[in-house]
Structure 1
Amino acid sequence: MTQDRPTPSAPAAPELTIVESRVYRGGNVWSYSPAVHLVVDLGILEEYPTDLLDGFTDRLLELLPGITSHTCSRGVKGGFVERLREGTWLGHVTEHVALQLQQEAGHDQRRGKTRGVKGQPGRYNVIYGYTDEGVGVAAGKLAVRLVNHLVQAEDGFDFAAELDTFLRRAERTAFGPSTTAILEEAVSRDIPFIRLNTGSLVQLGQGVHAQRIRATMTSKTGALAVDIAGDKDLTTKLLGSAGLPVPKQETVRGPNDAVAAANRVGYPVVVKPLDGNHGRGVCLDLQSDDEVREAFAIAREESRRGNVIVESFITGKDYRCLIVGGRMQAIAERVPAHVIGDGEHTVAELVDITNADPRRGVGHEKVLTRIKVDDAAVALVREQGSGMDDVPPQGTMVKLALTGNMSTGGISVDRTFDAHPDNVEIAEEAARMVGLDVAGIDFICPDIASPVRETGGAICEVNAAPGFRMHTHPTIGEPQFIAKPVVDLLFPPGTTARVPIVAVTGTNGKTTTSRMIAHIMKGVGRKVGMTSTDGIVVDERLVFKADASGPKSARMVLQNPRVDFAVMEVARGGILREGLGYDRNDVAVVTNIAPDHLGLRGIDTVEQLADVKAVIVEAVPRTGHAVLNADDPLVRRMRRRCSGSIVWFTMSPPGSAVRELVDDHCRRGGSAVVLEPSDKGDMIVIRQGRRAMQLAWTHLLPSTFGGTAMFNVANAMAAAGAAFAVGTGLHEIRQGLRTFSTSYYLSPGRMNQVNVNNVDVIVDYCHNAPGMKVLGDFVERYAAAKAGAVDHGRVSRLGVIATAGDRRDEDMRELGAIAAQHFDVLVVREDERLRGRRRGETAAIVAEGAKAAMAEGARARVVEVDTDELSAVRHVMARANPGDIVVVCVDQHGVVMNELETMTKQAQPGTHTADSVADPDLDPTTLSAEAQVSGEERTDQDLAEQSDEQTASAQATGSQVQSARP
């Protein structure tokens, strides 16, 4: 990141601020991976690169020495320090500090970039990767504070204390060592994962292939087995009944019962909670009745149900055997928390020295746990003849806990390859008896290398969800890669963890194309999960009703256990807001790029819009495909961003420049979907290399309205290309397109056709100028085809139009102007959500564009404003005559369709005659040639009064719902 050297106009001041922050949870416009995006404003610091800030670099390196390893753009360690010395801007510094703070928390993140905000000097886009999004955002905030502090010291700012708070937060939200080990193994196998809560509940895989883990408990872990393992008394009885070595044991509920049991079992004994874990409440080597009474109170405190076990004390070393899928995978010898005397330091000082080991943390966050000095530890030290302030002789071991649990500060020694085969067999049999897929079998015996049946020893416990860190990070010995058999258990070699994902984007047509693809795949037996602007649909059932074209909706689909094929409608807003909701898509479909949503979120040109939508193309792997519209220049350029194969679709005729490009692509072995004209009509053809496979006549596809809806022809070609790319057969694709209609049940809100009292009503979502242009072209063709079917040979066209309030004024005017070219009467309404506009403002601007076009000779003769959607529908229906075409561009399509259905139910067959014409101005039997050309001027009051009368008339007339096929 370089720019011209500034000339300071004022003293440096800590003015670096975060203007906006965003978290991308998948591929995005800045990165292929999840990232944090900060927009920062440098203020006066824009004039101060780092070489003009005295001592800044040295102070930064003193506080965060790890930055010396950053390569930056130089590609070698120390590259970023060179940039600091030469002079770089503080937005760039913020990026590297945020990355280093995450490194301090153990999150290995190295990806980042900083770019200036176009047209806004002093503002920068700071983008950097993250492992945990909460930690990533916190790192950015602390980085800004630190940079400001280094510019000018902030009163009360203690970086060491702030860093400690930051690290503690990272520890709270981080995965534990066991979960981390499994996830690292999954990622190495290209198995995606989704964190389902703030703890350790994680989904591995997608859809129907998904498996879940919570720490080391898996989807295959039986609840009954976990219950058995949690009941130590029952576990011991089961193992004993199988002839496995177990200690003598009794369950008690009172201190006197415990003493009686201890006498029956025989001293020394162990007292522990029936359903405890992590060694809490376990008291060992009890020699007297008084000790048993004291131990009972400690054990009952840790018992959830109040039951306590008294069992015989088995002498020997503590071993943990890890069994996965019935096979022994690792064995660790657990050594209780202790310190070794050096002849110089007290026991308390030795504990502090031991806890200073960076491998030790709180709880299970790190590979070792800090030793906790409590009353029990002090008493144990005293029993060994020392006090906490005594200096033990060099080499003397002072125990601070009796049990070897890692959670109490113990260490581990790997003994995986030392175990005797008989002991391995005993441990495996114990796991099978309890029924656990992943089990921790605790052995107490003199030496695991000798058979316990001969040397003495027993299984003292069976654990569900055993910790992995003693095996993956042993204090002494070689680490064991035990996550591999766990992942093998969930995803046996050769099985898949992913469902095919088809992502669809574009300015117009993406919803219909998505529905067509889903319909085709449903026909081949797939359980399709689909996101769209209408909601989430799983296996043709609407499970969530909302605008679901963003990343959160994508994750909801991938979490659904029924889904084995995903179709994602991907909108511009979702990409800019959070990125994609997944790491990659097998097929990317881009329908077209046209001016829409410009002026929002920094997207001011169609080229920038194309860059946003190209994200799904960049998310295609080498084995995937991008289905691109060759007729759109901006879409054509996306081929350079695709790592996989290209499938073109084009409606350009043979001999055109675009068709030549596609033909050349096919000659080189590529695939395409083309339109072949003939005297019988247009044929959709799939080409692969030199093969040409006829798919369907366009006029025979219900969604094309007899071939007149050319935009749906293009959508059908895109859907065919996507289905072909995922390996669907030609017959299945053809059948899917032939059975897909624009009925409300298959395609709600997209070209739904209803006949109301012989008025042809088409309900569509069209809301922008490019969409209105293709919709208008359809109206022209459809009206021309229909004109021959009416006696008077003329079909009037009426439209209800609208656009969203967050569009630019010029885009709104253009929508009105284009609509005026194709309709005789326009009624302009507004959406329920005004998106920052005043009521009536958006409609007025659209009407302004339409009237300007009328003044220049456009077709429209009447333009009215009725901001309420239902009122506008009633108004336009009151104006319509039999044989007319009404196009309603909807916001709430369900409400509008219900209103049209209500009109249908109120219909009285045969009551609509020449004497009850709804709109005399449009009655072809009375409309003069002059009026057809210019229309008549009427006052708003006249229109309002007539509208009331016509609405009442329309509600009294008959109507009838017909098939969506024209």
Structure 2
Amino acid sequence: GVDTRLDPARAFDLASDLDELRRAARRHTLGPTTASLVNEAERRGIPTLRLDEHSLVQLGYGKYQRQIRASITSLTPHIATSTASDKDLTKQMLDRAGLPVPKGAVVRSADEAARAASRLGFPVVTKPLDGNHGRGVTLDLHDEEGVRRGFEEARAHGRQVVVERYFPGNDHRVLVVNGEVVAVAERVPAHVVGDGRHSVRELVDEINRDPRRGEGHENVMTRIKLDGHVEALLARAGLTTDSVPEEGQRVYLRDTANMSTGGTAVDRTDETHPENITVARRAAKVIGLDVAGIDLISPDITRSVHETGGGIVEVNAAPGFRMHLQPSEGKARNVAAPVLDMLFPKGTPCRMPIVAVTGTNGKSTTSRMIAHVLRHAGHTVGLTTSNGIYVNGELVTAGDTTGPKSARVVLSDPHVDVAVLETARGGILREGLGFDRADVGVVLNVQPDHLGLAGVETMEDLAAVKSLVAEVVTDHGTSVLNADDPLVVEMRARARGRIAFFSMNGGDGAAPVLRAHIAEGGLAVLREPTVLGDELVMYEGGQRLPIIRARDIPATLGGFAAVNVQNALAACAVALARDVPLPVLRSALSTFTTSFEQSPGRLNLYDGHPFRVLLDYAHNPSGLGYLRDLVRHLRPERGRVVGVIGVAGDRRDEDIREMGALASEAFDEIVVREDEYRRGRREGVGARLVREGALAAGTPEERVTTILNEREAVDAALRMARQGDLVVILVTEVENVWRQIRDFDSSGTPPRLLPDESRGARETHRA
């Protein structure tokens, strides 16, 4: 529906709209503790990923990652957080360690609470056994009636209640990180100071107008709320919210000094006595917390609690940082820094190498080749492709996974130490990259595909989108560019890191830009003709080193699959940029095939029938052009080529017709199908355009069959095939069609016809 708030006829209510925006911000923004840690990580160049809608955040990538939820870290022991949440157990452990704690008891009824208070001696404190944020805490109770009232207050926040001796003094929060005290704040409960003219309510309203105060944790301080607890506290002092305190009279509105209830904080870090620091450090160690908030009551923090009295009343897991980051008075402390020092000690890696691969054609195969090489080099590789996400070769998520969400899956996997990310145009336009920078950015080519969509009207527009992969390369990384594609060559002006070129035209056919690059000592990988066949060769620093012959890479189908020769050149450039040794690179390339298992939907050959089947994903004119050239080498001497072709509906009419024309050049019999998702076109329109292109290119009408459903079209082509034929299937549903090919019953396949037995027109067309 339409958002009526944007309607110019609607009356504008600034206050209401601002409140709504604030509520939205509170729902979606990180709290002050988590935000401080994320900001500190980003200052250090540590990548961050938010894992939920709250405060769970990943710092670092892959196997190097750590996680935080506010100040709970992935190093925080669960047993320590459980201990800290049990106030009685915490006190027992601290007492056993000789640390100053108040005596107390756990009670289950108001009568038990009254008896415990009498036994301990007044004044006492009541609080929930497993409470937090000061909820249900009542201080300085001097009689049985107060204890019973305090019990009920605590009972509302927990099933069990603690009654303990009250330590007089000031409330201090001591923050301990990794065994060291990093900040101390004196916490002052929410209060007003009378002026003899205004009521308590009016004084609170005036305090709440302070721009530093907001709802919850959105600002430095929290607004004070006048609720039943405040009214009860005032009543004990003989006051109401309408009372007018005398000038200078301090009226406390809360028992506890928590920031979340409107309290204020004064930094006391530099004034704290060394023995008090030792007490806090030992307390954190006893409980086992890596990040701990020690609540220390002391009449004078500049003197030892052993001398003045007082002690530890609580040890908190997940302590808030707000009071230290932005105290109401005193010096602000960057308490996030020591947490990051603990999670990522100096010299500890936080990132894994990222290889991002983009281009119109060849992304999936090149990405798979790169991942195959890096696995041979001993890495645990996370790979995203148009067929799914793989971790160390194992499929973990099937589907088209070339967008930012899929990239984040790999970057979040705790086993992965290098990421190879196929990066498609659509994901970039929708959400960006999913990562902030890459160690290697690969741009394979820019061909006319998806033009006219999402504001991408020209080839230059498309190149601008794809160039982003090279633009985010680190200063010490490598941009791998196709020297045979003018639009890709132009990207070197804005690509970052060093430039590595690859080219199918080495030797005497090398372009001037490539010759100059090599002369300057740059990295380049070229296909060069030799007497033993085409060879992949590297140049760097004035040296020429042969890598492997093209025909020795199984994926090139004897060197005839030019597209995979080109993909291998790019993969070699990436491997060399990542310092993969040449013997490892050669071994990896010599074991990379076009099998369905290694490269589903990319030049997969099946020879289990009397005829041969080639499955491929060619989906644009450039890709089909490469396939047409390969089919010329695979064409059976005395058989036909039957092709199944479909084109996505979001291509331009002229592109779809061109696909039909290319199919006419490649296939003797054409079966035209359609994708299930026609992307805005009416049923049959895309198939009609393919048919028009084929007929215009000279294919006789009787040799073009239209069957819209992919499964039915594939079945028809397989039944049409004779012994010795080649069936080429351009596929959408890769897994399903491959299964259909394997399961097809070819026992009734008729014998192959000799040329003089077949239709003359067919032979003429094939010639």
TM-score bracket for this pair, using the shorter chain length? over 0.9
Q: How big is the shift at 1:828?
A: 1.5
Tell me the distance in 2 between the aligned counterparts of 1:748 and 1:757.
19
2:384 alignment partner in structure 1 = 531
Q: 1:184 is matched with which residue: 34, 39, 47?
A: 39
The alpha-carbon distance between structure 1 residues 861 and 824, as it changes in their structure 2 partners (threshold 3 A), is farther
The amino acid of 2:129's aligned partner reads: L
1:808 counterpart = 2:652: yes
Q: 2:703 is matched with which residue: 858, 862, 874?
A: 862
Q: 2:11 is matched with which residue: 136, 146, 156?
A: 156
1:877 counterpart = 2:718: yes
The amino acid of 1:926's aligned partner reads: E
CA contact (8 A) 2:189 2:263 kept: yes
2:390 counterpart SS class: strand
1:16-31 matches, cutoff 5 A? none
1:271 counterpart = 2:271: no
Q: How big is the shift at 1:234?
A: 0.4
The amino acid of 1:812's aligned partner reads: I
Tell me the distance in 2 between the aligned counterparts of 1:627 and 1:521.
16
1:377 alignment partner in structure 2 = 230
TM-score (norm. length: structure 2): 0.96
1:210 counterpart = 2:54: no
2:145 counterpart SS class: helix
1:891 alignment partner in structure 2 = 732
2:110 alignment partner in structure 1 = 255
Tell me the distance in 1 between the aligned counterparts of 2:721 and 2:258.
82
Q: 2:672 is matched with which residue: 821, 828, 832?
A: 828
Q: 2:751 is matched with which residue: 893, 900, 917?
A: 917
1:849 counterpart = 2:693: yes
Q: How big is the shift at 1:389?
A: 2.9
Q: 1:219 is matched with which residue: 64, 68, 74?
A: 74
CA contact (8 A) 2:388 2:395 kept: yes
2:95 alignment partner in structure 1 = 240
Which 4+ residue blocks in structure 1 deviate beyond 6 angstroms?
none
Tell me the distance in 1 between the aligned counterparts of 2:638 and 2:513.
42
- Stretches of structure 1 that go unaligned for 5 or more consecutive residues are 1-16, 19-140, 788-792, 937-966
CA contact (8 A) 1:438 1:466 kept: yes
Q: 1:502 is matched with which residue: 345, 350, 355?
A: 355
User: Residue by residue, what CA displacement relative to the aligned partner does 1:439-482 show, whole Å, maximum 9, x if unpaired?
Assistant: 00111121121111122111100000001111111111101111
2:454 alignment partner in structure 1 = 601
Tell me the distance in 2 between the aligned counterparts of 1:571 and 1:498.
23
2:216 alignment partner in structure 1 = 363
1:170 alignment partner in structure 2 = 25
Tell me the distance in 2 between the aligned counterparts of 1:741 and 1:683.
18
1:258 counterpart SS class: helix
User: Residue by residue, what CA displacement relative to the aligned partner does 1:709-734 show, whole Å, maximum 9, x if unpaired?
Assistant: 01100001111111221222222222
Tell me the distance in 2 between the aligned counterparts of 1:394 and 1:688.
82
CA contact (8 A) 2:613 2:729 kept: yes
CA contact (8 A) 1:683 1:698 kept: yes
Tell me the distance in 1 between the aligned counterparts of 2:395 and 2:322.
44
1:933 alignment partner in structure 2 = 764
The amino acid of 2:711's aligned partner reads: L
Tell me the distance in 2 between the aligned counterparts of 1:281 and 1:928.
93
User: Residue by residue, what CA displacement relative to the aligned partner does 1:734-759 show, whole Å, maximum 9, x if unpaired?
Assistant: 22111110111111111111113342
Equivalent pairs counted in the alignment come to 767
The alpha-carbon distance between structure 1 residues 379 and 875, as it changes in their structure 2 partners (threshold 3 A), is closer
Q: How big is the shift at 1:627?
A: 0.7
Q: 1:901 is matched with which residue: 742, 752, 761?
A: 742
The amino acid of 1:199's aligned partner reads: H
The amino acid of 1:769's aligned partner reads: P
Q: How big is the shift at 1:155?
A: 4.4
The alpha-carbon distance between structure 1 residues 458 and 930, as it changes in their structure 2 partners (threshold 3 A), is closer
1:282 alignment partner in structure 2 = 137
Q: How big is the shift at 1:935?
A: 8.1
1:586 counterpart SS class: strand
Tell me the distance in 2 between the aligned counterparts of 1:315 and 1:591.
72
2:542 alignment partner in structure 1 = 690
User: Residue by residue, what CA displacement relative to the aligned partner does 1:213-233 show, whole Å, maximum 9, x if unpaired?
Assistant: 111111111111111000000
1:238 counterpart SS class: helix
Tell me the distance in 1 between the aligned counterparts of 2:414 and 2:533.
44
Tell me the distance in 2 between the aligned counterparts of 1:603 and 1:315.
70
Q: How big is the shift at 1:385?
A: 5.2
2:194 alignment partner in structure 1 = 341
Q: 2:463 is matched with which residue: 604, 610, 624?
A: 610
1:668 counterpart = 2:496: no
TM-score (norm. length: structure 1): 0.77
Tell me the distance in 2 between the aligned counterparts of 1:180 and 1:684.
50
Q: How big is the shift at 1:529?
A: 1.3
1:708 alignment partner in structure 2 = 560
The amino acid of 1:933's aligned partner reads: T
1:516 alignment partner in structure 2 = 369
Q: How big is the shift at 1:931?
A: 5.1
1:476 counterpart = 2:329: yes
- Stretches of structure 2 that go unaligned for 5 or more consecutive residues are none
Tell me the distance in 1 between the aligned counterparts of 2:346 and 2:75.
17
The alpha-carbon distance between structure 1 residues 928 and 392, as it changes in their structure 2 partners (threshold 3 A), is closer
Q: 1:779 is matched with which residue: 631, 634, 645?
A: 631
Percent of paired sites with the same residue? 49
The amino acid of 2:109's aligned partner reads: G
Tell me the distance in 2 between the aligned counterparts of 1:925 and 1:426.
101
Q: Is 701-710 or 670-679 further displaced after alignment?
A: 670-679
Tell me the distance in 2 between the aligned counterparts of 1:375 and 1:829.
72
The amino acid of 1:530's aligned partner reads: L
Tell me the distance in 2 between the aligned counterparts of 1:502 and 1:294.
64
1:467 counterpart = 2:311: no
User: Residue by residue, what CA displacement relative to the aligned partner does 1:566-599 show, whole Å, maximum 9, x if unpaired?
Assistant: 1111111111111211212221111111111112
CA contact (8 A) 1:413 1:476 kept: yes
Tell me the distance in 2 between the aligned counterparts of 1:601 and 1:566.
28
1:208 counterpart SS class: helix
Q: 1:735 is matched with which residue: 575, 580, 587?
A: 587
1:721 counterpart SS class: helix
User: Residue by residue, what CA displacement relative to the aligned partner does 1:101-126 show, whole Å, maximum 9, x if unpaired?
Assistant: xxxxxxxxxxxxxxxxxxxxxxxxxx
CA contact (8 A) 1:176 1:366 kept: no
Tell me the distance in 1 between the aligned counterparts of 2:55 and 2:89.
28
User: Residue by residue, what CA displacement relative to the aligned partner does 1:235-266 show, whole Å, maximum 9, x if unpaired?
Assistant: 00000011111100100000111111111111
The alpha-carbon distance between structure 1 residues 935 and 248, as it changes in their structure 2 partners (threshold 3 A), is closer
CA contact (8 A) 1:756 1:900 kept: no
Q: Is 799-808 or 317-326 further displaced after alignment?
A: 799-808
1:679 counterpart SS class: coil
